[in-house]
Amino acid sequence: MKVVILKSNLKGGLSSVERAIGESSNLPVLRNVLLKTNGNKINISTTNLELAITKTVSGKIIEEGGLTIPFSTLNNIVNNTTQERVSLEKDGNNFIFKTDNYEAKIQGLKEDEFPVIPKIKSENCIEFNPVILRKAVNKVISAAQMSEIRPEISGLLLDYQVTQIKLVATDSFRLAEKNISANQFKSDINHSFKVIVPLKTVQEVLRVFSDDEPIKLFIDDNQILFKNNNLQIISRLIDGEYPDYEQIIPKSIETELSVNKEHFINAVRLVSTFSGKNNDVNLALKNNKVMEVYLANQMLGENNYMIPTKTDGKDFENVSFNWRYLIDGLKVIDSENLIFGVNGNNRPAVIKSADDTSHFYILMPIKA
């Protein structure tokens, strides 16, 4: 293997794949990166056996081949070299990194010692405009949380229904759902299915894919592949049954408020200054016109913020929420005003846009 590559291309490739590096001391090769020629391109790959990322970059191929070397060593060299033109060459099991004024010889391993990157058997796919996919995922991802006790909620549910796709996330305290209509994606899959995509995989999709070209999703029994022309992420799916979340979606709302989004967010952030270890804030509706966000703290004092609202329903008082979770639901609403549905202090509240019926966020109150 012998190639010439621009530092910017190599640096960008390493940045794309860095979070799939493995941490296992039993398999030190998982801390390596695989560089391999592919026609007139260079594939840069990492894997932790749960997730694998491959970035394809341009370079001048003088001699084909491949080699795997420690990721951190190569990454440090690339980040600190000042020359743009870089020569990479395999010398036995050594890897020679050379610029006009610098040369390093890095001990590597044979290409066949690097784990095989799995492939998806299915040729059928779902194709998204990356902007649409990104916006949809960002609507729900804050409600997901890693859980070793309940691994099935450590990811996003992708519920494919042919004419629409539902993305769902929950951590058992809150739940978010976003519907993507058929005119927002292309697909040649004609049957319904549900899969749970690991949270880390979804986070990497948001991080490394650009908005410049479509993203294709390929799915088989236990894997999912996100792919465009020069980047692919393949991941194991989470095995298990996603919670029957639809039963907790409120069928009715006791009090529905129309609230200015920015006023609501500002009120919660200000009042939360007095919050304790429960991260709580209290809400009350007075005279069917004004919502009060308030909190008292024995050590600090008390504060409150009054927000004018349009209301349908009855007054309420002393309904408490985790202010961080509340902010997560408020900030993903796109419209100037939002609908806040309150069901007392024992049933879930609902946050949704005044203009968009495809998304909602449900949050359980903190019980007194």
- Number of domains forming the structure of the chain: 3
3-class SS at 146? Answer: coil
Same domain, 179 and 157: yes
Instruction: Quick: pLDDT tens for 59-96.
Output: 999 999 999 999 999 999 999 999 999 999 999 999 99
Domain that holds residue 213: 125-245
CB 272 within 8 A of CB 279: yes
Euclidean distance between CA atoms 334 and 341, whole angstroms: 17
- The dihedral sign for the CA sequence 78, 81, 85, 88: negative
Q: What is the pLDDT of residue 139?
A: 98
Answer yes or no: is 118 within a domain: no
CB 20 within 8 A of CB 47: yes
Euclidean distance between CA atoms 204 and 233, whole angstroms: 8
Same domain, 159 and 144: yes
Same domain, 214 and 261: no
pLDDT tens, position by position, for the chain (368 residues)?
Answer: 999 999 999 999 999 999 999 987 789 999 999 999 999 999 999 999 999 999 999 999 999 999 999 999 999 999 999 999 999 999 999 999 999 999 999 999 999 999 999 999 889 999 999 999 999 999 999 999 999 899 999 999 999 999 999 999 999 999 999 999 999 999 999 999 999 999 999 999 999 999 999 999 999 989 999 999 999 999 999 999 999 999 999 999 999 999 999 999 999 999 999 998 889 999 999 988 999 999 998 888 999 999 999 999 999 999 999 999 999 999 999 999 999 999 999 999 999 999 999 999 999 999 85
Looking at 245, 264, 284, the residue that finishes a domain is 245
CATH of the domain at 263: 3.10.150.10
Same domain, 322 and 268: yes
Euclidean distance between CA atoms 268 and 17, whole angstroms: 38
Averaged pLDDT score across all residues of the chain = 95
Same domain, 176 and 238: yes
Answer yes or no: is 334 within a domain: yes
CB 2 within 8 A of CB 11: no
Would you state the structure tokens that stand for residue 35, as one six-digit string? 């560089």
Task: Report the share of the chain in percent with pLDDT over 90.
Answer: 93
Instruction: Quick: pLDDT tens for 111-142.
Output: 999 999 999 988 999 999 999 999 999 999 99
